[in-house]
Structure 1
C-alpha cells in the first residue's frame, strides 16, 4: 500500500466515524425533545387520560337562526376555535395543554338565537369557563357585527356539560 491510499483510508475512517457520531447525537437530541401539537395518526392513537384525569373539550355553539351557508359556518367555527385557543394560551395555559395533549376535542352544537347564546355565555363566565364570541365583519351573508358563534373552553367535560350539555349537535 502506498502512502496516498493510507491517507485516503484514514480520512474515510475519520469521516465515517464523525458522521456516525454526529447522526447518533442528533437522533438522541431529537428523541429527547417534547412533542407539541402532535397530529393524530393511525400509528399513534390519542387516548383518554388515565383514571382520575379530566377529559377536556371545546364546545362551539353556532346560531341556527342566521341560516348561514356551510362554508360560512365552517369559517365562523374556525374563527371561534382560534380565538378560544388564543384566549386559553393567555388565561388558562394548563387547561390548553391538557386539551391539546388528548386530541383537542371540539364539539359543535346548535343555538336557536342570539339571546340563547348570550345567556349561555353569561352562565359559562359565572362558572369560570372561558368564552369567546365571534362577531362577523358583515361582508357576505350576515349584517356587520352580528354575533355568529361562541366557543366555550377548553375546559373539563363535566364543567362544560353543566352549561351546554342540553344542546343538540350541529
Structure 2
C-alpha cells in the first residue's frame, strides 16, 4: 500500500484556501517526480494522502532531507 504524506507549516500565516492550494501543488509536483509505476499503483489504490503539520521551516527541511536520503519523491513549495 502506498500513501502520500504532505507536510504543512503551521507557522506561516495563510488562509485556508491558500493552504489547500499549497498542498495541491506539493501533491501534484511530487507525483510528477515519482516513478510512474508507483504512481499508477498508488492511483489504483485510491490515492491515499495524509497531511501532517510542522511548526517551523527548520523542521520541514529536516523531513525533506530525510525523504531525499531515502529516495522518496518530494517537492518543496515556496512563494
TM-score bucket of the superposed structures, by smaller chain:
over 0.9
Q: Is 2:72 aligned against 1:129?
A: yes
Q: Structure 2 matches for 1:11-160, cutoff 5 A?
A: 55-88=1-34, 92-136=35-79
- How many residues align? The count is 79
Please give the secondary structure, in 1, of the residue aligned with 2:19: helix
CA distance in 1, matches of 2:29, 2:9: 17
Contact 2:31 2:73 in 1 (8 A): no
CA distance in 2, matches of 1:81, 1:127: 18
Give the root-mean-square deviation of aligned CA atoms: 0.9
Q: Which has the larger radius of gyration?
A: 1
Q: Give the TM-score, by structure 2 length.
A: 0.93
Ranges in structure 2 where 5+ consecutive residues have no aligned partner: none
CA distance in 2, matches of 1:133, 1:104: 20
Ranges in structure 1 where 5+ consecutive residues have no aligned partner: 1-54, 137-170
Shift >2 Å, 4+ stretches? none
Q: Give the TM-score, by structure 1 length.
A: 0.45
CA distance in 2, matches of 1:127, 1:81: 18
